[in-house]
Amino acid sequence: MVVTGTDTGVGKTIVTAAIAAAATVAGLSVAVVKPAQTGTAEGDEPDAVTVARLAEPASTRTLASFPDPLAPLAAARVAGEDPLTAVMAQLAVRSIADNHDMTLIEGAGGLLVPLGENGWTLLDLAAAIGATAIVVVRPGLGTLNHTALTLEALARRDIPALVVFGAWPADPELVHRTNLHDLPGDLAGAIPEGAGAMTPPLFRREAAHWLDPRLHGRFDPVAFRSHSR
């Protein structure tokens, strides 16, 4: 599965961690791959480290890292380093997937952000390896358009997709409730706002409640929509 988002900062890393945690608790050997990590010079915890800390999957790996907080292709250019090639990414992912029950590939920013040489994207990688896409979305204003555009791009490449809210508020406002009702796509989960600040043991215990059975959880989108009205 590839984990993408409608934009940067929508909660992809926490959703990736939640899926990894739920699948690991269910007994699967889970690998998490970050093709390109940027912004390493800022001192923030890298995404793969966050996932490893919260979810304890069988393995995590980052294929390329760059210091500046830019799109990966631009970050490589600014740093004077070679960008990751599409072939290198595909070979690495296939090799890792051969040794695990589930492999999650977390993108950078949105679906069409250039990740490496010649501008290849997470969409290209998903099409090449035959992956399902998890689209992480915001609950607030603007999400209907952003979600529809992302799903349309995936559908044009015949990539199946599930939608997950990256940070659902504890007290939804009118805009959140109406967006929940009108959201396009197949809703498969909602991560509570602030979940990333939980202790790792609590995060792992709770993760299954946030995701539907296709993601090894117990989330019921019909009940969630009814409860959130």
What are the catalytic residues?
34
3-state DSSP assignment of residue 92: helix
Instruction: Report the C-alpha gap between 100 and 110 in whole angstroms.
Output: 26
Residue 6's φ and ψ, nearest 5 degrees, are -80, -10
Residue 208's φ and ψ, nearest 5 degrees, are -65, -25
Instruction: Report the C-alpha gap between 210 and 207 in whole angstroms.
Output: 5
Instruction: Report the C-alpha gap between 182 and 180 in whole angstroms.
Output: 6
Q: How many CB atoms lie under 10 A from the CB of residue 88?
A: 16
Q: How many CB atoms lie under 10 A from the CB of residue 184?
A: 17
Place of tokens 């197949």: 186
Instruction: Report the C-alpha gap between 91 and 170 in whole angstroms.
Output: 41
Question: Mind giving me the DSSP string for 177-194?
Answer: HHHHHH--S-EEEEEETT
Q: Which two tokens stand for residue 170?
A: 């504890």
Identity at 159, one-letter amino acid code: I
